[in-house]
Structure formats: C-alpha cells, structure tokens
Amino acid sequence: RKEVEQDPGPFNVPEGATVAFNCTYSNSASQSFFWYRQDCRKEPKLLMSVYSSGNEDGRFTAQLNRASQYISLLIRDSKLSDSATYLCVVNMNSGYSTLTFGKGTMLLVSP
C-alpha cells in the first residue's frame, strides 16, 4: 500500500460547486495531517491542518477518519481561484520529524 494515496484527478467542476477529495495513508501511528495547495509551477503552501474532530476554514472543511485511515477535504462554493493541485500530507510516524506528501489531486474550476 502506498504511504499517502490520492486520486490524481483532474476534478472538473463549475464555479459554485461543492467538491470533495479523499486521501488514504498507510501508517496507523501517524499523528499530524495537513492539506497543502500547489498552484501550477509554484511552491506548495499550507491550506490547513487537519484536526481529529474535523475543522473548517471558510469554505474549506477537513475531516480525519483514523479508523479507516483517510482524510478528506471539502470545498464549498468553488471559485476559479481554487484551481490548483491539493496535496495530502502526513507525518508518517509518531516521533518522526518529517512529512510524507501525496502526489496531489488536481482541481479545475470553470466559469
């Protein structure tokens, strides 16, 4: 099983749509989870951390399911500016000081 697995997409949605991405991770001992955003030919930037109880930041909602080892990101009311690749990122081991990045899911929002 790959360490951090994501559907590469692309997900093509119209403006205003709601879209959800999932990500699965292989190590049940993982403790820290993030979603990063990467625009074309740019560096990754933190979108949000993922808390055990789930968390929301404006139009973005992140959920963690430890039992099934997956993380989700929900984007409501999609904007053209949301078009990007969304990277699922996991601290693979408790006590481990580095992160493992998924390959990313591409989102294309059209007018």
Report the residue count for the chain: 111
Stretch that binds another protein, among 10-18, 19-27, 68-76, 89-97 (CB under 8 A): 89-97
Exposure string of 87-103, with b = 16+ CB inside 10 Å and e = fewer, is: bbbbbbeeeeeeebbbe
Told to check if 54 binds another protein by CB under 8 A, we report no
Q: Which is nearer to another protein, 15 or 39 (CB)?
A: 39
Told to check if 97 binds another protein by CB under 8 A, we report yes
Binder of another protein out of 10, 42, 59, 65 (CB under 8 A): 42
Told to check if 104 binds another protein by CB under 8 A, we report yes
Helix (H, G, I), strand (E, B) or coil at 63: strand
Helix (H, G, I), strand (E, B) or coil at 82: helix
What letter would DSSP give residue 10? P
Told to check if 33 binds another protein by CB under 8 A, we report yes
CB of 41 to another protein, least distance (A): 8
Q: Which is nearer to another protein, 78 or 88 (CB)?
A: 88
As given in the structure block, the two tokens for residue 56 are 């929301």
Residues linked to residue 74 through DSSP beta bridges, in sequence order: 20, 61
Applying CB under 8 A, which residues contact another protein?
Answer: 4, 8, 31-34, 42-46, 49-51, 87, 91, 93-104
